[in-house]
Chain A
Amino acid sequence: MLAFLRKNQVPLSSFCCLLLSIYILTAAARGQLKNEPLSAVLMWILRPLQIASQGTANWVKGFQENYDTLAGFRSENERLRKRIQSLEIEKQRLLEAEATNLRLKQQLDFRSHLTGAAITATIIANSASSWFQSCTIDKGSADGVLKGMAVVTPLGVVGQVVSVTARTAKVLLLTDPNSGIDVLVQRTRSRGIVSGSLENGTVLKYVKRSEDIQAGDRLITSGLDGVFPKGMMVGAVIKVRKQHLGLFQFIEVLPAVQSARVEEVLVVGAQSDAKRQ
Protein backbone atom coordinates (compact mmCIF):
# COMPACT_ATOMS: atom_id res chain seq x y z
CA MET A 1 0.00 0.00 0.00
CA LEU A 2 2.77 2.40 1.01
CA ALA A 3 4.78 1.39 -2.05
CA PHE A 4 1.77 2.07 -4.27
CA LEU A 5 1.28 5.52 -2.72
CA ARG A 6 4.97 6.31 -3.07
CA LYS A 7 5.04 5.17 -6.69
CA ASN A 8 1.95 7.18 -7.64
CA GLN A 9 2.41 10.18 -5.37
CA VAL A 10 2.43 12.73 -8.22
CA PRO A 11 -0.81 11.68 -9.96
CA LEU A 12 -2.48 11.09 -6.59
CA SER A 13 -1.53 14.56 -5.29
CA SER A 14 -2.61 16.11 -8.57
CA PHE A 15 -5.90 14.23 -8.37
CA CYS A 16 -6.35 15.53 -4.81
CA CYS A 17 -5.81 19.09 -6.11
CA LEU A 18 -8.55 18.45 -8.71
CA LEU A 19 -10.93 17.25 -6.00
CA LEU A 20 -10.03 20.25 -3.83
CA SER A 21 -10.77 22.63 -6.72
CA ILE A 22 -14.13 20.98 -7.30
CA TYR A 23 -14.88 21.32 -3.57
CA ILE A 24 -13.90 25.03 -3.68
CA LEU A 25 -15.99 25.55 -6.83
CA THR A 26 -19.02 23.92 -5.25
CA ALA A 27 -18.63 25.87 -2.01
CA ALA A 28 -18.08 29.14 -3.91
CA ALA A 29 -21.07 28.51 -6.18
CA ARG A 30 -23.28 27.96 -3.13
CA GLY A 31 -21.91 31.10 -1.49
CA GLN A 32 -20.43 29.13 1.41
CA LEU A 33 -16.87 30.38 0.86
CA LYS A 34 -16.81 33.54 2.92
CA ASN A 35 -13.70 35.05 4.57
CA GLU A 36 -11.53 32.51 2.81
CA PRO A 37 -8.03 33.15 4.27
CA LEU A 38 -5.84 32.10 1.32
CA SER A 39 -7.33 34.80 -0.94
CA ALA A 40 -6.64 37.44 1.67
CA VAL A 41 -3.02 36.28 2.09
CA LEU A 42 -2.38 36.11 -1.67
CA MET A 43 -3.98 39.52 -2.23
CA TRP A 44 -1.94 40.89 0.67
CA ILE A 45 1.20 39.71 -1.13
CA LEU A 46 0.04 40.78 -4.58
CA ARG A 47 -1.50 44.19 -3.79
CA PRO A 48 1.70 46.27 -3.36
CA LEU A 49 3.34 44.42 -6.25
CA GLN A 50 0.31 45.02 -8.45
CA ILE A 51 0.33 48.72 -7.60
CA ALA A 52 4.02 48.94 -8.52
CA SER A 53 3.54 46.85 -11.63
CA GLN A 54 0.53 48.89 -12.75
CA GLY A 55 2.66 51.99 -12.24
CA THR A 56 5.25 50.49 -14.57
CA ALA A 57 2.54 49.61 -17.08
CA ASN A 58 1.25 53.19 -16.96
CA TRP A 59 4.79 54.43 -17.42
CA VAL A 60 5.25 52.15 -20.45
CA LYS A 61 1.93 53.35 -21.86
CA GLY A 62 3.01 56.95 -21.33
CA PHE A 63 6.38 56.18 -22.87
CA GLN A 64 4.71 54.67 -25.95
CA GLU A 65 2.59 57.80 -26.35
CA ASN A 66 5.62 60.03 -25.93
CA TYR A 67 7.52 57.96 -28.46
CA ASP A 68 4.70 58.32 -31.00
CA THR A 69 4.64 62.04 -30.39
CA LEU A 70 8.36 62.33 -30.94
CA ALA A 71 8.60 60.01 -33.93
CA GLY A 72 8.20 62.91 -36.38
CA PHE A 73 11.27 64.73 -35.07
CA ARG A 74 13.84 62.03 -35.83
CA SER A 75 15.48 64.00 -38.61
CA GLU A 76 16.21 66.98 -36.40
CA ASN A 77 19.58 67.40 -34.70
CA GLU A 78 20.44 65.87 -31.35
CA ARG A 79 20.24 69.04 -29.31
CA LEU A 80 16.79 69.96 -30.57
CA ARG A 81 15.60 66.42 -30.16
CA LYS A 82 16.71 66.33 -26.54
CA ARG A 83 15.16 69.70 -25.95
CA ILE A 84 11.87 68.66 -27.51
CA GLN A 85 11.91 65.37 -25.62
CA SER A 86 12.39 67.08 -22.29
CA LEU A 87 9.65 69.59 -23.14
CA GLU A 88 7.36 66.78 -24.23
CA ILE A 89 7.97 64.86 -21.01
CA GLU A 90 7.30 68.01 -19.01
CA LYS A 91 4.22 68.76 -21.09
CA GLN A 92 3.02 65.18 -20.68
CA ARG A 93 3.47 65.46 -16.93
CA LEU A 94 1.51 68.71 -16.80
CA LEU A 95 -1.20 67.42 -19.12
CA GLU A 96 -1.48 64.30 -16.99
CA ALA A 97 -1.76 66.45 -13.86
CA GLU A 98 -4.39 68.62 -15.53
CA ALA A 99 -6.33 65.63 -16.83
CA THR A 100 -6.23 64.02 -13.39
CA ASN A 101 -7.40 67.28 -11.84
CA LEU A 102 -10.29 67.51 -14.29
CA ARG A 103 -11.25 63.87 -13.76
CA LEU A 104 -11.25 64.23 -10.00
CA LYS A 105 -13.29 67.44 -10.22
CA GLN A 106 -15.84 65.62 -12.40
CA GLN A 107 -15.93 62.79 -9.88
CA LEU A 108 -16.50 65.21 -7.00
CA ASP A 109 -19.28 66.89 -8.93
CA PHE A 110 -20.84 63.53 -9.78
CA ARG A 111 -20.46 62.37 -6.19
CA SER A 112 -22.49 65.31 -4.95
CA HIS A 113 -25.40 64.00 -7.07
CA LEU A 114 -25.43 60.69 -5.19
CA THR A 115 -27.48 60.45 -2.02
CA GLY A 116 -25.62 57.54 -0.38
CA ALA A 117 -21.98 57.06 0.47
CA ALA A 118 -19.56 56.80 -2.44
CA ILE A 119 -16.02 55.52 -2.17
CA THR A 120 -13.35 56.70 -4.59
CA ALA A 121 -11.03 53.90 -5.74
CA THR A 122 -8.21 53.41 -8.21
CA ILE A 123 -7.94 50.46 -10.58
CA ILE A 124 -4.70 48.64 -9.75
CA ALA A 125 -4.93 45.57 -11.98
CA ASN A 126 -6.84 44.10 -14.88
CA SER A 127 -8.02 40.55 -15.43
CA ALA A 128 -5.27 37.91 -15.66
CA SER A 129 -7.31 35.87 -18.08
CA SER A 130 -8.79 36.52 -21.51
CA TRP A 131 -11.97 34.78 -20.44
CA PHE A 132 -13.01 37.18 -17.73
CA GLN A 133 -13.57 40.91 -17.90
CA SER A 134 -12.71 42.06 -14.43
CA CYS A 135 -10.39 44.43 -12.61
CA THR A 136 -9.05 44.96 -9.11
CA ILE A 137 -9.48 48.20 -7.18
CA ASP A 138 -7.40 49.44 -4.26
CA LYS A 139 -10.25 49.71 -1.76
CA GLY A 140 -11.71 46.82 0.22
CA SER A 141 -13.89 45.97 3.19
CA ALA A 142 -11.68 48.11 5.46
CA ASP A 143 -12.75 51.13 3.39
CA GLY A 144 -16.44 50.21 3.40
CA VAL A 145 -16.61 48.34 0.09
CA LEU A 146 -19.08 45.47 0.15
CA LYS A 147 -19.80 42.63 -2.24
CA GLY A 148 -22.56 43.60 -4.66
CA MET A 149 -21.87 47.35 -4.66
CA ALA A 150 -22.03 49.19 -7.99
CA VAL A 151 -18.89 50.62 -9.59
CA VAL A 152 -19.44 53.73 -11.70
CA THR A 153 -17.78 56.79 -13.17
CA PRO A 154 -19.34 60.13 -14.13
CA LEU A 155 -19.60 58.72 -17.67
CA GLY A 156 -21.60 55.67 -16.65
CA VAL A 157 -21.60 52.13 -15.30
CA VAL A 158 -18.33 50.17 -14.99
CA GLY A 159 -19.42 46.99 -13.21
CA GLN A 160 -20.17 45.38 -9.89
CA VAL A 161 -18.06 44.28 -6.92
CA VAL A 162 -18.01 40.47 -6.81
CA SER A 163 -15.49 39.81 -4.07
CA VAL A 164 -13.78 41.82 -1.37
CA THR A 165 -10.66 41.48 0.75
CA ALA A 166 -9.62 43.94 3.44
CA ARG A 167 -7.72 46.27 1.10
CA THR A 168 -8.85 45.28 -2.42
CA ALA A 169 -12.00 44.37 -4.30
CA LYS A 170 -12.62 42.50 -7.52
CA VAL A 171 -14.99 44.18 -9.98
CA LEU A 172 -16.88 42.20 -12.61
CA LEU A 173 -17.07 44.51 -15.61
CA LEU A 174 -20.21 45.24 -17.59
CA THR A 175 -18.55 43.54 -20.60
CA ASP A 176 -18.15 40.15 -18.86
CA PRO A 177 -20.48 37.36 -20.05
CA ASN A 178 -21.48 36.75 -16.41
CA SER A 179 -22.69 40.30 -15.85
CA GLY A 180 -26.26 41.44 -16.25
CA ILE A 181 -27.67 44.94 -15.77
CA ASP A 182 -31.36 45.81 -15.92
CA VAL A 183 -31.69 48.78 -18.30
CA LEU A 184 -34.24 51.06 -19.95
CA VAL A 185 -34.05 52.41 -23.46
CA GLN A 186 -34.18 56.14 -22.73
CA ARG A 187 -36.34 57.03 -25.76
CA THR A 188 -38.98 54.28 -25.57
CA ARG A 189 -38.62 53.10 -21.91
CA SER A 190 -38.37 49.49 -23.15
CA ARG A 191 -36.61 47.19 -20.69
CA GLY A 192 -33.83 44.66 -21.26
CA ILE A 193 -30.66 43.19 -19.80
CA VAL A 194 -27.21 44.38 -20.86
CA SER A 195 -24.53 41.72 -20.66
CA GLY A 196 -21.17 40.88 -22.18
CA SER A 197 -20.58 38.00 -24.58
CA LEU A 198 -17.45 36.36 -25.91
CA GLU A 199 -18.69 36.45 -29.48
CA ASN A 200 -20.43 39.78 -30.01
CA GLY A 201 -19.08 42.16 -27.40
CA THR A 202 -21.73 43.81 -25.26
CA VAL A 203 -25.36 43.00 -26.06
CA LEU A 204 -28.86 43.99 -24.98
CA LYS A 205 -30.92 40.86 -24.34
CA TYR A 206 -34.59 40.00 -23.99
CA VAL A 207 -36.08 42.90 -25.95
CA LYS A 208 -39.21 41.81 -27.83
CA ARG A 209 -39.27 41.95 -31.63
CA SER A 210 -42.18 44.36 -31.48
CA GLU A 211 -40.21 47.02 -29.55
CA ASP A 212 -38.95 50.01 -31.52
CA ILE A 213 -35.20 50.08 -30.97
CA GLN A 214 -32.88 52.07 -33.21
CA ALA A 215 -29.14 52.50 -33.51
CA GLY A 216 -28.08 55.43 -31.36
CA ASP A 217 -30.68 54.82 -28.63
CA ARG A 218 -29.22 55.49 -25.19
CA LEU A 219 -29.50 52.85 -22.45
CA ILE A 220 -29.79 53.83 -18.81
CA THR A 221 -30.01 51.79 -15.62
CA SER A 222 -33.56 51.04 -14.50
CA GLY A 223 -32.64 50.85 -10.81
CA LEU A 224 -34.84 47.77 -10.50
CA ASP A 225 -31.94 45.39 -9.90
CA GLY A 226 -31.27 47.07 -6.56
CA VAL A 227 -27.60 47.41 -7.42
CA PHE A 228 -27.16 50.37 -9.74
CA PRO A 229 -28.64 53.81 -9.08
CA LYS A 230 -31.46 54.63 -11.49
CA GLY A 231 -30.65 56.77 -14.51
CA MET A 232 -26.96 55.98 -14.97
CA MET A 233 -25.71 55.79 -18.55
CA VAL A 234 -24.89 52.22 -19.60
CA GLY A 235 -24.24 52.57 -23.32
CA ALA A 236 -25.72 53.21 -26.74
CA VAL A 237 -27.24 50.84 -29.28
CA ILE A 238 -24.96 50.37 -32.30
CA LYS A 239 -26.65 47.58 -34.22
CA VAL A 240 -30.16 46.08 -34.24
CA ARG A 241 -30.94 42.82 -36.02
CA LYS A 242 -34.31 41.12 -36.18
CA GLN A 243 -33.81 37.47 -37.00
CA HIS A 244 -36.36 35.47 -38.99
CA LEU A 245 -37.27 33.38 -35.96
CA GLY A 246 -37.35 34.02 -32.25
CA LEU A 247 -39.10 36.24 -29.75
CA PHE A 248 -36.32 38.75 -29.23
CA GLN A 249 -34.19 41.17 -31.20
CA PHE A 250 -30.41 40.96 -31.39
CA ILE A 251 -28.95 44.29 -30.23
CA GLU A 252 -25.29 45.23 -29.97
CA VAL A 253 -24.30 47.90 -27.48
CA LEU A 254 -21.34 50.25 -27.18
CA PRO A 255 -20.63 50.66 -23.45
CA ALA A 256 -20.56 54.26 -22.22
CA VAL A 257 -17.40 53.58 -20.24
CA GLN A 258 -14.38 52.05 -21.95
CA SER A 259 -13.05 50.19 -18.91
CA ALA A 260 -9.52 49.95 -20.34
CA ARG A 261 -9.24 53.73 -20.15
CA VAL A 262 -10.66 54.20 -16.66
CA GLU A 263 -8.26 54.90 -13.80
CA GLU A 264 -10.48 56.12 -10.95
CA VAL A 265 -13.96 54.88 -10.11
CA LEU A 266 -16.66 55.42 -7.53
CA VAL A 267 -18.06 52.50 -5.55
CA VAL A 268 -21.65 53.15 -4.54
CA GLY A 269 -24.27 51.27 -2.57
CA ALA A 270 -27.70 50.36 -3.88
CA GLN A 271 -29.33 53.19 -1.94
CA SER A 272 -27.39 55.82 -3.93
CA ASP A 273 -29.98 57.11 -6.40
CA ALA A 274 -28.80 59.68 -8.87
CA LYS A 275 -30.60 62.92 -7.94
CA ARG A 276 -30.45 64.19 -11.45
CA GLN A 277 -32.93 61.50 -12.53
Chain B
Amino acid sequence: MRLFLLYFVVGVVSVLLQTTLLHLLPIGPIVPDLILVLCVYLGLYHPSVGAALGSFLLGYSVDIVSSPILGLNAFAMSLVFLSVYFSSRSIWLQNPIVTSVVVLLAAVVKGAALVLVWAVFLSVEGFWIGAARYIIMEALVAAVLAPMVFALLRRGQNYVEKFRAAAQ
Protein backbone atom coordinates (compact mmCIF):
# COMPACT_ATOMS: atom_id res chain seq x y z
CA MET B 1 0.00 0.00 0.00
CA ARG B 2 2.81 2.40 0.96
CA LEU B 3 4.69 1.51 -2.20
CA PHE B 4 1.51 2.18 -4.21
CA LEU B 5 1.20 5.58 -2.53
CA LEU B 6 4.84 6.34 -3.33
CA TYR B 7 4.35 5.62 -7.05
CA PHE B 8 1.01 7.46 -7.10
CA VAL B 9 2.65 10.57 -5.65
CA VAL B 10 5.65 10.23 -8.02
CA GLY B 11 3.21 9.89 -10.95
CA VAL B 12 1.22 13.00 -10.00
CA VAL B 13 4.42 14.98 -9.39
CA SER B 14 5.80 13.86 -12.77
CA VAL B 15 2.66 15.06 -14.58
CA LEU B 16 2.82 18.38 -12.72
CA LEU B 17 6.52 18.85 -13.49
CA GLN B 18 6.01 18.00 -17.15
CA THR B 19 3.20 20.51 -17.51
CA THR B 20 4.90 23.38 -15.66
CA LEU B 21 8.47 23.54 -14.36
CA LEU B 22 10.19 21.35 -16.95
CA HIS B 23 9.11 23.79 -19.66
CA LEU B 24 11.65 26.21 -18.20
CA LEU B 25 14.58 23.96 -19.18
CA PRO B 26 16.56 25.40 -22.10
CA ILE B 27 16.25 22.33 -24.36
CA GLY B 28 14.00 23.71 -27.07
CA PRO B 29 10.58 22.18 -27.60
CA ILE B 30 11.46 18.90 -25.86
CA VAL B 31 9.93 18.20 -22.45
CA PRO B 32 11.81 15.51 -20.46
CA ASP B 33 9.51 12.50 -20.28
CA LEU B 34 9.60 11.52 -16.60
CA ILE B 35 6.45 9.46 -17.03
CA LEU B 36 8.13 7.25 -19.62
CA VAL B 37 11.07 6.70 -17.25
CA LEU B 38 8.63 5.82 -14.45
CA CYS B 39 6.83 3.29 -16.69
CA VAL B 40 10.16 1.69 -17.62
CA TYR B 41 11.07 1.49 -13.92
CA LEU B 42 7.74 -0.17 -13.11
CA GLY B 43 8.20 -2.64 -15.97
CA LEU B 44 11.71 -3.57 -14.83
CA TYR B 45 11.41 -3.67 -11.07
CA HIS B 46 7.68 -4.05 -10.31
CA PRO B 47 6.18 -6.23 -13.02
CA SER B 48 2.70 -6.62 -11.55
CA VAL B 49 -0.93 -6.12 -12.55
CA GLY B 50 -0.97 -2.88 -10.54
CA ALA B 51 2.09 -1.59 -12.40
CA ALA B 52 0.48 -2.39 -15.76
CA LEU B 53 -2.63 -0.44 -14.74
CA GLY B 54 -0.41 2.32 -13.36
CA SER B 55 1.40 2.69 -16.69
CA PHE B 56 -1.95 2.89 -18.47
CA LEU B 57 -3.19 5.56 -16.04
CA LEU B 58 0.03 7.56 -16.32
CA GLY B 59 -0.34 7.63 -20.10
CA TYR B 60 -4.01 8.48 -19.75
CA SER B 61 -3.24 11.42 -17.47
CA VAL B 62 -0.85 12.77 -20.13
CA ASP B 63 -3.67 12.38 -22.65
CA ILE B 64 -6.02 14.37 -20.43
CA VAL B 65 -3.68 17.34 -20.09
CA SER B 66 -2.03 17.24 -23.51
CA SER B 67 -3.03 15.13 -26.43
CA PRO B 68 -5.78 16.04 -28.89
CA ILE B 69 -7.33 12.59 -28.58
CA LEU B 70 -7.75 10.40 -25.49
CA GLY B 71 -5.97 7.05 -25.37
CA LEU B 72 -2.91 7.99 -27.46
CA ASN B 73 -0.36 8.07 -24.63
CA ALA B 74 -2.26 5.42 -22.64
CA PHE B 75 -1.63 3.06 -25.56
CA ALA B 76 2.02 4.10 -25.91
CA MET B 77 2.78 3.74 -22.19
CA SER B 78 1.03 0.34 -21.97
CA LEU B 79 3.09 -0.82 -24.95
CA VAL B 80 6.28 0.49 -23.31
CA PHE B 81 5.43 -1.38 -20.10
CA LEU B 82 4.74 -4.61 -21.99
CA SER B 83 7.96 -4.31 -24.06
CA VAL B 84 10.05 -3.62 -20.98
CA TYR B 85 8.38 -6.47 -19.10
CA PHE B 86 9.30 -8.97 -21.82
CA SER B 87 12.81 -7.61 -22.28
CA SER B 88 13.49 -7.55 -18.52
CA ARG B 89 13.46 -11.35 -18.53
CA SER B 90 16.58 -11.46 -20.65
CA ILE B 91 18.66 -8.50 -19.42
CA TRP B 92 20.35 -7.82 -16.14
CA LEU B 93 20.14 -4.21 -15.06
CA GLN B 94 22.43 -2.76 -12.47
CA ASN B 95 24.59 -0.61 -14.71
CA PRO B 96 23.44 3.01 -15.31
CA ILE B 97 24.56 2.80 -18.95
CA VAL B 98 22.38 -0.26 -19.59
CA THR B 99 19.53 1.55 -17.80
CA SER B 100 19.95 4.50 -20.15
CA VAL B 101 19.99 2.24 -23.19
CA VAL B 102 16.77 0.50 -22.08
CA VAL B 103 15.06 3.86 -21.53
CA LEU B 104 16.35 5.09 -24.89
CA LEU B 105 14.87 2.04 -26.64
CA ALA B 106 11.63 2.41 -24.67
CA ALA B 107 11.39 6.04 -25.81
CA VAL B 108 11.81 4.86 -29.40
CA VAL B 109 9.02 2.29 -28.86
CA LYS B 110 6.81 5.04 -27.42
CA GLY B 111 7.59 7.39 -30.32
CA ALA B 112 6.90 4.69 -32.89
CA ALA B 113 3.60 3.82 -31.15
CA LEU B 114 2.57 7.48 -31.14
CA VAL B 115 3.38 7.89 -34.83
CA LEU B 116 1.51 4.71 -35.71
CA VAL B 117 -1.61 5.54 -33.69
CA TRP B 118 -1.45 9.16 -34.80
CA ALA B 119 -1.38 8.09 -38.44
CA VAL B 120 -4.34 5.74 -37.96
CA PHE B 121 -6.59 8.02 -35.88
CA LEU B 122 -5.58 11.59 -36.73
CA SER B 123 -4.24 11.33 -40.31
CA VAL B 124 -2.23 14.56 -40.19
CA GLU B 125 -0.67 15.14 -43.57
CA GLY B 126 3.14 14.82 -43.59
CA PHE B 127 3.28 14.44 -39.81
CA TRP B 128 5.86 11.64 -39.85
CA ILE B 129 8.48 13.87 -41.54
CA GLY B 130 9.38 15.72 -38.37
CA ALA B 131 8.59 12.85 -36.02
CA ALA B 132 11.99 11.12 -36.27
CA ARG B 133 13.82 14.19 -34.93
CA TYR B 134 11.38 14.39 -31.99
CA ILE B 135 11.73 10.68 -31.22
CA ILE B 136 15.53 10.87 -31.18
CA MET B 137 15.72 14.07 -29.11
CA GLU B 138 13.13 12.88 -26.61
CA ALA B 139 14.81 9.47 -26.33
CA LEU B 140 18.23 11.06 -25.66
CA VAL B 141 16.87 13.37 -22.97
CA ALA B 142 15.01 10.50 -21.29
CA ALA B 143 18.14 8.30 -21.45
CA VAL B 144 20.24 11.00 -19.79
CA LEU B 145 17.68 11.46 -17.02
CA ALA B 146 17.01 7.76 -16.43
CA PRO B 147 19.92 6.83 -14.07
CA MET B 148 19.14 9.77 -11.79
CA VAL B 149 15.39 9.09 -11.72
CA PHE B 150 16.01 5.37 -11.14
CA ALA B 151 18.37 6.16 -8.25
CA LEU B 152 15.76 8.48 -6.68
CA LEU B 153 12.99 5.90 -7.08
CA ARG B 154 15.20 3.17 -5.59
CA ARG B 155 16.01 5.43 -2.65
CA GLY B 156 12.32 6.17 -2.10
CA GLN B 157 11.50 2.47 -2.32
CA ASN B 158 14.24 1.59 0.22
CA TYR B 159 12.91 4.25 2.56
CA VAL B 160 9.37 2.88 2.32
CA GLU B 161 10.61 -0.70 2.93
CA LYS B 162 12.64 0.39 5.95
CA PHE B 163 9.63 2.23 7.30
CA ARG B 164 7.49 -0.87 6.79
CA ALA B 165 10.07 -3.11 8.51
CA ALA B 166 10.28 -0.69 11.46
CA ALA B 167 6.48 -0.64 11.75
CA GLN B 168 6.39 -4.45 11.91
Select A43's contact among B33, B64, B78, beta carbons within 8 Å: B64
Question: Is A199 within 8 A of B133, CB to CB?
Answer: yes
Contact-residue size bin, chain A (C-beta under 8 Å from the other chain): 35 or more
Q: Which residues of chain B are within 8 angstroms of A129 by Cβ–Cβ distance? A: 18, 31, 33, 62, 66-67, 73
Mark contacts of A43-87 with chain B using CB atoms, 8 A cut-off: 1 yes-contact digit, 0 otherwise: 101100110011011001100100000000000000000000000
Question: Is A50 within 8 A of B16, CB to CB?
Answer: yes
Instruction: Return A113 CB to nearest CB of chain B, in Å.
Output: 30
- Which residues of chain B (12-39) have a CB below 8 Å from chain A? 12, 15-21, 23-24, 29-31, 33, 35
Instruction: Return B52 CB to nearest CB of chain A, in Å.
Output: 4
Question: Is B70 within 8 A of A28, CB to CB?
Answer: yes
* A14→B76 CA distance, assembly (Å): 11
Instruction: Return A52 CB to nearest CB of chain B, in Å.
Output: 8
Q: Which residues of chain B are within 8 angstroms of A128 by Cβ–Cβ distance? A: 15, 18-19, 31, 35, 62, 65-66
Mostly helix, strand, loop or mixed at chain B's interface?
Answer: helix
Mostly helix, strand, loop or mixed at chain A's interface?
Answer: helix
* A9→B85 CA distance, assembly (Å): 12
Question: Is B130 within 8 A of A127, CB to CB?
Answer: no
* A43→B31 CA distance, assembly (Å): 20
Contact-residue size bin, chain B (C-beta under 8 Å from the other chain): 35 or more
- Which residues of chain B (72-101) have a CB below 8 Å from chain A? 72-75, 78-79, 81-82, 85-86
Instruction: Return A18 CB to nearest CB of chain B, in Å.
Output: 5
A112 CB–B CB distance under 8 Å:
no
A126 CB–B CB distance under 8 Å:
yes
Residue of A126, A176, A200 with most chain B CB atoms under a 10 A cut-off:
A126
Question: Is B121 within 8 A of A50, CB to CB?
Answer: no
- Which residues of chain B (92-130) have a CB below 8 Å from chain A? 114, 117, 121-122, 124, 126-127, 129-130
Residue of A10, A15, A172 with most chain B CB atoms under a 10 A cut-off:
A10
Beyond contacts A10-B52, A28-B121, A162-B68: 13 other A-B pairs, Cβ-Cβ < 8 A, are: A10-B48, A11-B82, A11-B86, A14-B85, A17-B53, A20-B56, A57-B24, A64-B24, A127-B66, A170-B64, A170-B65, A172-B68, A199-B129
- Top-5 shortest CB links A-B: A198-B130, A199-B130, A24-B71, A21-B75, A25-B71
List residues of chain B with CB under 8 Å of any chain A CB: 12, 15-21, 23-24, 29-31, 33, 35, 47-49, 51-53, 55-56, 59-62, 64-75, 78-79, 81-82, 85-86, 114, 117, 121-122, 124, 126-127, 129-131, 133-134, 137-138
